[in-house]
Amino acid sequence: MILASINHKGGTGKTVIAQNLGVCYATTGAKVCIVDADTSQNSMRWFDARGDKEPRIPVFYNSNHRTIRRTVEDLYNNEDYDTIIIDSPPSLEKSAGKLSA
């Protein structure tokens, strides 16, 4: 399953939603990761701050609208993640189009 937290406005909670969804899926035993597509890299910092006792949720950074779809496909097909959650930046019009194409 591939999910994306998208909103064209900043400060709407996209990152928090992506992270909480990741934790929810990981606690059910799913092999989950987050793709941080936001140049602020808040999900990357969240990953670095997590403790060893919390579910492991890898975070991969890619904010390039030309290559993000390939990154997601590679993670899904080659790394065998059950669930990939995309933490998008505001105004992700180009990347959202690439993901849904």
> Per residue in 6-58, pLDDT tens?
877 777 889 999 999 999 999 999 999 999 999 889 999 999 999 888 888 99
C-beta separation of 85 from 21 below 8 A:
yes
Q: Report how far apart the first and last C-alpha atoms of the chain are (Å, whole number).
A: 16
The domains found in the chain, sorted by start residue, are 2-100 (3.40.50.300)
Q: What's the rounded mean pLDDT across residues 60-64? A: 93
Strands 83-87 and 2-5: parallel
Enter the pTM of the model.
0.84
Residue 94: the pLDDT is: 55
